[in-house]
A and B are shown apart, each in its own frame.
Chain A
Amino acid sequence: MDRREQIERIIIGTLLSSDSQFNYYNDVKCSITSDMFRDNRNRRLFEMITEMNQQGIVDTNPYNIYMKYGEAVTDLLYYMCENAMEWCYFHRKVEYNERQWLIYQSYGIRPKYTNVTFEDYINRFITLVFENEQQQRQKAY
C-alpha cells in the first residue's frame, strides 16, 4: 500500500466516523471529488457520504449508511467498519503518538505530541493527486 492509498483510507475512515459534533465532511466538501479516489470502494463510499450530506444527514457512520442503502453496500460492510475504526484520522494520530513516545522514552528523550491535523492529510492528498495528473499529462506529450 503506497502513501496515496493510505491517505485515501484515512480520509474515508475519518468521514465514516463523523457526526454532528465533528462534521469532517465540511473540511473536504470543496476540495475533494469522488473521481480523485483510485480505489473503487472509496469512490462509492465518498459518493454515498456526499449524497447523505446533501440530504442533511451528517452522521455518516457505517450503521447509518447501511440503514440507508441496505443491500447495495453489503459487500462494503467489513471495509467500512475497518476504516471507521482503524483508519480514522484521530485513531491514527493517537497510535502514532504512542509509538513516538516509546521510541523517545527508549532514548531517554522527553516525549512530545505531533499536532498533525485532518487538513494536513487533505492537503497532502490534493498535492499527490495534482502531481499525479501533471505526470500523466507529461507522459501524454
Chain B
Amino acid sequence: MSSSRDKKRIDTDMQQISPHDVDVEECVLATIMRYNEVYNEYCDLLSPDLFYYEREREMFRVVDGVLKAGKMSDINTLYAYSQSLGIKDEILSRYSFVEIFQKSSRETFYSDVMRLRELYKRRTAWRVLQLAAHKLYDLTEDVDESIEGAVTALGELGTSTSMEGVYSFGDALNELRTIVSDNRAGKLNFLRTGFNLFDRYYLLRPNTMTVIAAFTSVGKSALALNIAINVARAGIPVGYYSLEMGKSELAARGISGTAGLKAGEILNRQLQGTEISMFENAAKQYDSLPIYIDERSTVAFDKTIRSIRTMRKKKGIGLAIIDYLQIYTQVGDSTEASLAYMARASKNIAKELGIPVILLSQLSRGAAHPSIKMLRGSGQIEESADNIVLIDRPEAYPNNEVQKYEGEYANAETHNTALFILAKGRGVGTGTALVGFDGRYTQFFEREDAEYKEQFEQQAPPIEARPMGAEVPF
C-alpha cells in the first residue's frame, strides 16, 4: 500500500501504532472477492475484527454480506450492496474494489488468514495489558482484582478470537420453544432413515454425531448408503464421502437392489437384453436423488471437513456421511490422538452446521460379537459420539463356532438377518433391533415377518375389541 496513505492514517490514529499488515489484509479480501468458494471453506476463521483499518473492515462486511446472501461478488453487486449499507463513497468506491482486486493469491490464503489472526491476537493482548498497566498504577484500584481481570481477558483470547457463538441460557430456551412448537405443528426435527431403530430413537437429530461400527465386510457402507438413499428420497440432500469406493461403484451398489442385479455384475459383466432394461429402469428412479459425492476430498481429514462446510452452503446438505475413519491419513504423532482429533472434528462440524453427521468406524477383532469396547484406536470416539450403532451379523464370519446372536435374540435365525445394537444414545437410551439383510444386493431392510410384528406391536397399547352389535352404554 502507498506509504502516504499509511502516514495519514497514523496521524489520525493513536500515537502508538499497533501491529498490523495492510498488504496481507488486502490480499485476503481480494482472494475472497475473486474465488468465492475459498470463502465458504474458511468463513469460520474470518471476522471483521481481524482487519485493522476501517476501509478494509467495511469492505469485508460488504463481501461477507454479498456472499452470505448467495450472490456472486462482481463489482456491481459489491458496490450496490455497500451503498445499501449506507457506507460513504469516501470509504468505498468502485475504484477501491478494483485497486484491491488485483492482489489476490489463492495459494497463500490460509497462511495469510493465520497471520491476520495472529496480529489480531497481538493487538488485543497489547490492549488488555496496557489497560492492566494503567490500573496497576492507579492506587485506588484493587491490585488482585486488576490482575485477575487481565488474566481472565488473556485466557479468553487464547481460546477464541470472537464472541460469536456465545449464548445466554435464555437464548437456548427460545430455541427450545421453537423446536417444541415445530414438533406440535408436526414438523420433523430428525431425519427418517427407513430403519425402525434409527427412527424410534430419533438418532439423526441436528447437531449429533452417530458412529456406525462393525467388523470388516459386515455392511457398514451398505447401511450408510441405504440411509443416504432413504433420506435423499425425502428430498433432503446428502453428502457422501467415501475413500474406499469411487462414485460409479457407489452408484452401482445403490441401484443394485432395485435393478435386481449384483453391483459387481453391473460394473464388470456385459449386460444382456432384459438386464439392460432392468438397469435403465432402476437408474431412472435414482436419477434425481440429491446425493453428492466429493471425490476431491481424499487423504486428509481436514479437507473432508472443509468440503462438508462448502457442500452445506452450496448444496444445502442435511446429512453428511464419512466412510470410514481409520482409512484417513494420520494427523500428528500417534494413531490414538489422530482418531480422537477426527472424531472431535466431526462432532464440531455437526454442531457448527446444525446437521447430523454419520461416521463409520471399524472394530478391532478378537471376539465373536461386537461391543463398544472394540472401537478401534481410541476411546475418544466413544466419548465424542452422541450415538453408537453396532452391526452384528454372525453370518459374515463362517469360521465362528457358534452362529448365534447374543442376548434376547439368541434363538433368532442368523441367515439373511443382522442385529442393530444401539450401544450408546445420548439422551435416548439403548436398544436393539433385528433387521433383514440381502447378501446379493448388500442391502438392509426392515423385516415384515411375524417375529418383527410381535417385537414392535408389544409397545403399542392394545386396542379393546368390542363385540359386534353390542350397545353402547350411556
Contact = CB atoms under 8 A, between A and B. Distances in A.
Interface of A: 26-27, 29-33, 50, 53-54, 119, 123, 126
Interface residues of B, number: 15
B262 interface: no
Nearest to A32: B75
Nearest to A26: B34
B445 interface: no
Nearest to A23: B35
Interface of B: 33-35, 71-76, 78, 94, 97-98, 101-102
Nearest to B77: A54
A41 B116 CA distance: 44
B72 A30 contact: no
B72 A31 contact: no
A119 B98 CA distance: 13
B102 A123 contact: yes
B35 A30 contact: no
A31 B98 contact: yes
Q: Which of A30, A33, A54, A119 has the most CB of B within 10 A?
A: A30
B98 A29 contact: no
A29 B97 CA distance: 11
A33 B35 contact: no
Contacts of B102: 31, 119, 123
Given A30-B98, A31-B98, A123-B102, A53 B72 contact: yes
24 contacts: A26-B34, A27-B34, A29-B72, A29-B73, A30-B34, A30-B73, A30-B74, A30-B75, A30-B78, A30-B97, A30-B98, A31-B97, A31-B98, A31-B102, A32-B75, A33-B75, A33-B76, A50-B74, A53-B72, A54-B71, A54-B72, A54-B74, A119-B102, A123-B102
A128 to B, nearest CB: 13
A30 B81 CA distance: 14
A119 B104 CA distance: 11
Contacts of A32: 75
A119 B35 CA distance: 15
A45 B425 CA distance: 58
7 closest A-B pairs by CB = A29-B74, A30-B101, A31-B98, A31-B101, A30-B33, A30-B75, A54-B72
Nearest to A130: B95
A53 B72 CA distance: 8
A26 B71 CA distance: 14
Given A29-B74, A33-B76, 17 more contacts: A26-B34, A26-B35, A29-B72, A30-B33, A30-B34, A30-B74, A30-B78, A30-B98, A30-B101, A31-B97, A31-B98, A31-B101, A31-B102, A33-B75, A53-B72, A54-B72, A123-B102
Nearest to A33: B75
Nearest to B75: A30
A32 B74 CA distance: 9
A119 B105 CA distance: 12
A31 B99 CA distance: 8
Q: Which of B35, B94, B101 has the most CB of A within 10 A?
A: B101
Contacts of A33: 75-76, 94
Contacts of B34: 26-27, 29-30
Contacts of A27: 34
A112 to B, nearest CB: 25
Contacts of B78: 30
A30 B98 CA distance: 6
A71 to B, nearest CB: 27
A54 B73 CA distance: 9
Contact of A31 (B35, B71, B75): B75
A53 B75 CA distance: 13
A13 to B, nearest CB: 20
B252 to A, nearest CB: 26
